[in-house]
Amino acid sequence: MKKRHIALIAVGAFVVFAALNNTNLFSSAPTGRPLLLAHRGLAQTYSAEGVGNDTCTASRIHPPEHPYIENTLASMEAAFRAGADIVELDIHPTTDGQFAVFHDWTLDCATNGNGVTREQTMATLKTLDVGYGYTADGGKTFPQRGKGIGLMPTLDEVFAAFPRKRFLIHIKSNDPAEGEKVADRLKTLPPEQLAGLMVYGGNRPVLAVRERLPQVPTMSNRLELSCLLTYLATGWSGHVPASCAHSLLLIPDNYAGWLWGWPDRFLARMQGVSSVVVVAGPHRSGDGTRGIDSAEQLKTVPLRANVGIWTNRVDRIAPLLPAKRATRLSERHGQSRVTGPELVIRADAAVFAAE
């Protein structure tokens, strides 16, 4: 009986300690506007239901509300104008030693080309129409056709167009040599530009980037699982696993509540190991990554200065957040280097630009 009482006391003490060590009642949340991460810039959206690695998303877009095509300089410019702090983009190496900014593994879905993207020269990719395959009605009409000719940029062109902006770079393969090539290219950037970058993708290339550029936040599915599963086992104590350091953590909003100390203590702990936390929409097995794309979804996100929001609709979400001290891009950096249609956002007469 005595042993049983001791065990109950021990369990009770553990519960009390874990609760006090992870409650947010006594923590001070950093005030300010969350970071907005615009997935593929300001792009055409589509349902994430049933989306896999090989899904042709251009053939299932929603009826267009704006003229922008994902991963183009114009879409990035529009995203930053609308209020994005970070733009996510996808890259593929080309046969002539460059990195093409384009999402799909093959060209057949979205463009008028064919074949594997990375098996082409950049000169060939520059001849393609990246809006050719976009349709919202099963192929009856193609609203972007003819508007994306020559608009596939190189990674170098992105860096030149937006030297002061932040980007999340998606490596599309699991080839460690590709990670080495990415790291070699990033090493040539000025320190202040490199400080604004993050990298995610296949585990092997991400590990290669992580080894060569440990200061750059990185993420792969395996690395994130290693961090979060260990944290679930030990985070009650306040301990942050070494595997969580210098990481990007993409947290679906329907899983966030399971994390010890969520939101404020968890966010502070990850910030303490130089990691970036970004909240996405709910994860559902068999679907692609969902964004926080509506006012209703935004209610699930802690509006803190040390959290990011993954969104496919930065034009909808930015006006719902507190304004930040900013001016139009043309006023801060001179006229835009990007030509193309201009997005106008009317929401309390505010047009935000990234700090």
Give Cα 162 distance to the centre of its chain: 17
Burial of 184-220, coded b for 16+ CB within 10 Å and e otherwise, reads ebbeeeeeebeebbbbbbbbbbbbbbbeebeebbbbb
CA dihedral over 85, 98, 60, 254, signed as positive or negative? negative
> What one-letter code names the amino acid at 272?
G
Which of the pair, 270 or 289, is modelled with greater confidence?
270
Tokens 């008028």 -> residue: 112
pLDDT, tens only, 306-349: 999 999 999 999 999 988 654 443 333 334 444 433 333 323 22
| pTM attached to this predicted model | 0.88
pLDDT, tens only, 254-281: 999 999 999 999 999 999 999 999 999 9
Q: Residues 146-158: what's their mean pLDDT?
A: 98
CA dist 218 and 294 (Å) reads 27
* Alpha helices per DSSP H over the chain: 2-22, 73-82, 122-125, 155-161, 176-187, 191-194, 203-212, 221-234, 264-272, 295-298, 314-317, 329-333
Which of the pair, 289 or 333, is modelled with greater confidence?
289
Tokens 């930053």 -> residue: 80
Return the SS3 of 11: helix
